């Protein structure tokens, strides 16, 4: 087998694995993200004084909260409860939602 052919196979199987992870459960991110709505509003659209989180990519913010937990911040405690992959799925779902507050 030639080197480029092998690379192609490696590449395509990597793509397949990524695709599998995404396709594995199309609603998993939505279900995880729905748990943000009690405080941040349905689909991250806040109707109160707490920030809206729809329409933005929160992945880096969530990772940072988990890496640097401040005891006085309720979100930092929540961040402990999710894996990086779950945070990525939550951020991905919310980023596709309309932003802004009422």
Partner 1 sequence: MNPFDRRQFLKLCMSGAAIAAAPFSVSAATTAPRVVVIGGGFAGATVAKYLRLWGGNIDVTMIDPAAAHISCIGSNLVLNSRASLSSLTLSYNTLINTHGVKVMKDSAVSVDPLARRVYLASGARLDYDRLIVAPGIDFLSIPGLDPNIMPHAWKAGSQTLLLKKQLEAMPDGGKFVLTIPPAPYRCPPGPYERVCVVADYISRKKPKSKVIVLDANADIMAEKHTFSTAFNGIYANIVEYHTGVTISAADSSRKELTTSIGTIQGNVVNVIPTQQAGKIVFDTGLVPAGARWAPVNPLSYESTVVPGVHILGDSQGTGQPKSGHMANAQAKVCADAILRSFAGLAPDAAPKTNSACYSPITYDTASWLTVVFAYDPASGTMKAVPGTLTEAPMPTKDNFEQMFGWMANMFSDSFA
Binding region for partner 1 (CB under 8 A):
20, 23-28, 30-32, 34-35, 37-42, 46-50, 71-72, 74, 77-78, 80-82, 86
Name which of 3 and 67 has its Cβ closer to partner 1: 67
Name which of 2 and 72 has its Cβ closer to partner 1: 72
Name which of 3 and 14 has its Cβ closer to partner 1: 14
Name which of 1 and 24 has its Cβ closer to partner 1: 24
Residue 18 to residue 22: CA distance in whole angstroms: 6
Q: Which long-range contacts (CB under 8 A, 24 or more apart) does 30-36 make?
A: 30/93, 32/82, 32/86, 32/89, 32/90, 32/93, 33/89, 33/90, 33/93, 33/94, 36/90, 36/94
Least distance CB 3 / partner 1 (angstroms): 26
Largest CA distance in the chain: 61
Least distance CB 37 / partner 1 (angstroms): 4
Residue 21's nearest CA partner among 85, 70, 94 is 85
Least distance CB 6 / partner 1 (angstroms): 20
């Amino acid at each position: 087998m030639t080197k480029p052919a092998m690379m192609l196979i490696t590449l395509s199987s990597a793509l397949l694995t990524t695709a599998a992870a995404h396709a594995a459960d199309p609603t998993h991110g939505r279900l995880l993200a729905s748990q943000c709505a009690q405080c941040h509003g349905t689909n991250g659209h806040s109707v109160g004084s707490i920030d809206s989180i729809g329409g933005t990519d929160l992945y880096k913010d969530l990772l940072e909260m988990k890496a640097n937990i401040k005891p006085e911040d309720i979100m930092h405690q929540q961040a402990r409860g999710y894996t990086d992959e779950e945070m990525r799925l939550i951020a991905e779902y919310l980023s596709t939602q309309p932003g802004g507050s009422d």
